[in-house]
Amino acid sequence: MIVLITGITSGFGRAMAERLSADGHKVYGTHRKDCLRLPGVTYIKADVSSEDDCRAAVEQVLEAEGRIDVFINNAGMGIGGPLEFCSVAQAEKQMDVNWTGMVRFLHHVVPAMRRQKGGKIICFSSIGGLMGLPFQGLYSASKFAIEGYCEALRMEVRSFGIKVVVIEPGDFATSFTASRDSVGDKEAYEVYKSYERSLASIENDEQTGLKPEFLAERISRIVRKPNPRYHYIISTLEQRLSVLLKAILPPSWFAAILRSYYKL
């Protein structure tokens, strides 16, 4: 199959590119900065914030292969901090990379899959796209947007043989932690006394989390499935249970559990 993945420099993207290439798929991947390249993977310089880059990346794959069987929207970033201290510019950047970047690509991928009468679209949300996480509100908002967009898209493109899958990872040990853009305003720490404790807890969960190769193996199986599920939560048992608890508990009870977990 012909696979296009956004953001393969490191973390999930690199692990998926390596695994899917080893599975025998022809893998194309986008990157913004120079990186150590995987053999057998075709790298495309593209920024998800650029409409021209997104269009050109899709066109390059279509010109070379004539089709795209699987599109994996993986590129993303995080901005952490008390929402009161997150600037409008930060909110716009968070949405532009995580949500609008996906939309830019899909505007070119969907017509190609519609013409070829089939394909799989796999978009990365997060457990943070199923529940609003304290001090990660902008990130959660961008992932909630992906959930809603894909839910609507799935119904619209079903008759064309296009499957839309949303992946909701929990905490993984990747470079995402180090690259997070966190609010550094001293007043934020003074006003929100629990911010520093919560941030330390969040980072510890990520750094001690599952390995990206674990997720890549699951994606490998999803790519092969003729009829994949709508959603896949890929996380520890504890984090999967948290999603279940949110669905069955009164909102105030679940909020109390999150406050306790994040030391608020």
| Residues labelled catalytic | 139
CA 246 and chain centroid, separation: 21
Residue 216: its H or E element: helix 212-224
Residue whose pair of structure tokens reads 């952490």 in the numeric block: 80
Q: Residue 209 in 3-state DSSP?
A: coil
Q: At which residue do the structure tokens 């993986």 appear? A: 74
Helix 88-95 × helix 137-157 angle, to 10°: 30
Amino acid at 171: D
What are the helix (H) ranges across 66-136?
88-95, 101-116
The DSSP line for 37-66 is PPTTEEEEE--TT-HHHHHHHHHHHHHHHS
- Looking at residue 210, the DSSP 8-state letter turns out to be B
Closest CA to 79 of 98, 58, 51, 60: 98
Could you tell me whether strands 231-234 and 70-73 are parallel, antiparallel, or unpaired per DSSP bridges?
unpaired
